[in-house]
Amino acid sequence: MTPSELDQLADYAEGLLDGTPDGEAIAARIANEQEWADAFRQLTEVSPRIAADLGALPEIPIPAEVAAALDRALAEQPPLTAPHSTPRPADELDQLRTKRAARKAKAGGWVVAAGAAAVVAVACFGVFQSLDLGSSDDLADSSAGGTESNVLSAPAAPQSIHVSGTAYSSSQLGTQAQSLLNAQDDAGTRPASPTEPDPATPKAAEAKPGTVPPELRRLLGPADLRACLTALSIAAQPLAVDYATLDGAPAVIIVAPHADPAVLDVAAAGPECGIGRSSDELARTSIPR
């Protein structure tokens, strides 16, 4: 699912789209598409816990000199506008605003804090320049403690995502990954939508195509998948990601560009990939490009 689709699903889960055409369309997708049904179930399960955790966070005051610098930087910026291709009716907009405000209040004000953090992030570059906090080398050194904090270096979303049902093996990983790419090419799906499994990929007789192993469902989330790719030191955009098994155990199979342009990197990782910087790497090989 794309970020915009996840945002729509979150609005739907909170009741913001009740009685609207968008709400009816999302309800139909939840009823007819397994991916949307799973995402809706997971969202409704974790949302209360997330809201409670965020609401319990203590307030952290911004130092006065930093706040003043942010105010100056923001005052110098032109106003931002977001054009709407299809304006909504005024009564529908009023209804959405009212419901969104209720959701923010229910979450204990953490949405406001998150919005402030976003504003701070947007203004940080200009503020750091105006405060003369040090050279770029110093800033790089200060962030060297964890690669997951460097958002700009995070790998892009995969060109295609699959739930092929293939039973990969360590000894045949490269050959099977090549078959996955060949099936993409034969079906004309490379690059393909990152939200639709490819029905033309190889299948093992005992596997269930289209069914993500429960242990791997966490890695369906874009943020968790990016964390996994970072832990595997995969910086380039993957060509394909397949949620399958390796030697009978749940594994995500990733095919990505290699530092050597003549080959591709093939990595297999377990369900713990991306947790606490762990790659949970199970096997790795390379194949001709």
Bridge partners (DSSP) of residue 245 are 167, 250
Least confident window among 68-82, 222-236, 238-252 = 68-82
Task: Give the chain's length.
Answer: 289
What does the pLDDT average to over 217-237? 90
- Phi/psi at 195 (5° precision): -110, 0
Bridge partners (DSSP) of residue 127 are none
**Between 196 and 212, residue with greater pLDDT:** 212
User: How do 161-162 and 240-246 pair as beta strands?
Assistant: parallel
Query: What b/e sequence results for 150-176 when a residue is b if at least 16 CB atoms lie within 10 Å of its CB, and e otherwise?
Result: eeeebbebbbbbbbbbbbbbeeebbeb
pLDDT tens for 66-113 read: 888 888 888 888 776 655 555 555 555 566 656 555 555 544 444 444
pLDDT tens for 52-61 read: 777 888 888 8
Going by pLDDT thresholds of 50, 70 and 90, the confidence category of residue 184 is confident
Whole-structure pTM value:
0.44
> Which of 228, 212, 209 is closest to 272 using CA atoms?
228
Residue boundaries of the structural domains of the chain = 3-133, 154-288
User: Rounded distance, CA 87 to CA 15, Å?
Assistant: 20
